[in-house]
Structures are given as C-alpha cells and as structure tokens.
Chains A and B, each alone.
Chain A
C-alpha cells in the first residue's frame, strides 16, 4: 500500500494556466505538508496543515492555495502559472511534533512552458 500518494506525477502546462496537484496519505497522520524542490534540488517548506488547519504558510505567492478537505488529503492549486513555478512538488505527512519523521510522496514534476 502506498503511504503518501500524489497525482499527477508529471504535469506539463503553459504559462497562465491553472493547475492542481492532489495528495493523499493512508498513515493516519494528522499533519500534512507541501515542499518545493527547485532545479538545484533545494527543498523548502511551502505549507503545513494540522487537522485541516493551516499552521505554516511560508513566503509563497498567493497564486498558490492549499486546501485540506480532511486529515488524509492536502491539495495544491496554482493559479496563473509562471515559468519560475517549474519544480518538483512533494507532499509529506507526519504526526504533529518535531521528533516525528515526515513521510514523503513520490513528487509531482511541474514544467511550465
């Protein structure tokens, strides 16, 4: 069974379009995250939700809007895509608390042309 799954795995789209990435976890965790990995492989937190409540919102453009319909799902919607949004987006989940490891999904490679 896949612990953290993301769809789609690859996403190619044009500038100005709107797209969504979906994430689901079946680990029973109460906290979910979105990370962005840029072209230099640098990983940075974007958002974190705990029990459907937004608790971390880093300096991310408001074109990015996360939504958590329930504890097991965290989706990422991106409006008006720009070339600089091209990256790999990882979803992760964990129990709340700094000592708990985060489990990562396989990533969604977004390419904006």
Chain B
C-alpha cells in the first residue's frame, strides 16, 4: 500500500527566506503525488501534482516540487516566503489499488516570521 511521510510537523522561516517542506513516499507502482495547502478553517487547495510527466512541477503561488525517484521524495519549495504562505501543507499519494483514494501525510505547519 502507498504511504507518505512528511518530515517536520512544524517549519518556521523568515519572510523572504527559502521554504522547503519535505515529503517521502512509498509506492509499489509509479506514483501520482500531490501537495495541498490548508488555511485555517478552510478546505484543501491543490498546489501542484506530479503525474509522471516532468519531474520538476510548478504550482500556484510560486511553489514547485521535484520528483526524485531514487530518493522517493517529492519536496515542496518556494524561493521566497511570504506572510500569506503561513498554513498547513499536506503531501499525498494516490492509491488506486481499490478505487482511487488519496493517502495523506501528517501535514507540516509553515510559520512565516516577519
């Protein structure tokens, strides 16, 4: 079965600094991978997805992620953090063994300091 591990439940960066949120996956088949963002008291919004095309995926709000098969990783980055990036970020892998479901990591809360 597919699974996702997000390293670091909390990440704190200064405004303008690099954002790096880590995600490692386990999958017996080529994975479909997603990053979602959740602002307080809201639903989940898709940031970007990897579906076996380009390994470097660009998403919304200046975020991007690189799929590295050798490292089974799909880390999320943004060159310069903005205060509005403060939220919780979830990495997910699509498990299609029975139907189609997203298996989520535990989430990483990003704090941006002024």
Q: Which residues of A contact B (CB under 8 A)?
A: 4, 31, 33, 35, 40-45, 48, 50, 55-56, 58, 90, 92, 94, 96-107
* A43 and chain B: residue at smallest CB distance: B104
What is the total of A-B residue contacts with beta carbons within 8 Å? 67
B residues within 8 A CB of A45?
101-103
* B103 and chain A: residue at smallest CB distance: A45
Please tell me if the beta carbons of B32 and A33 are within 8 angstroms of each other in the complex.
Answer: no
Known: A41-B88, A106-B43, A107-B43. A99 touches B32 (CB 8 A): yes
A residues within 8 A CB of B44?
43, 90, 92, 104
B26 within 8 A of A: no
Q: Which of B32, B45, B106 contacts A98 (CB 8 A)?
A: B32
What are 12 contact pairs spanning A and B, CB under 8 A? A43-B102, A44-B104, A45-B103, A50-B99, A92-B44, A98-B94, A99-B49, A99-B51, A101-B49, A102-B102, A103-B46, A104-B36
| Shortest CB distance A41–B (Å) | 5
B100 within 8 A of A: yes
Chain B binding surface SS class: strand
Please tell me if the beta carbons of B34 and A101 are within 8 angstroms of each other in the complex.
Answer: yes
Between B34, B38, B44, B106, the greatest number of chain A beta carbons within 10 A of the residue's beta carbon is seen for B44
Q: Which of B100, B103, B107 contacts A94 (CB 8 A)?
A: B100
Bound complex: CA A96 to CA B101 (Å): 10
A residues within 8 A CB of B100?
31, 48, 55-56, 94, 96-98, 100
Bound complex: CA A35 to CA B43 (Å): 11
Known: A42-B104, A43-B90, A101-B34. A55 touches B99 (CB 8 A): yes
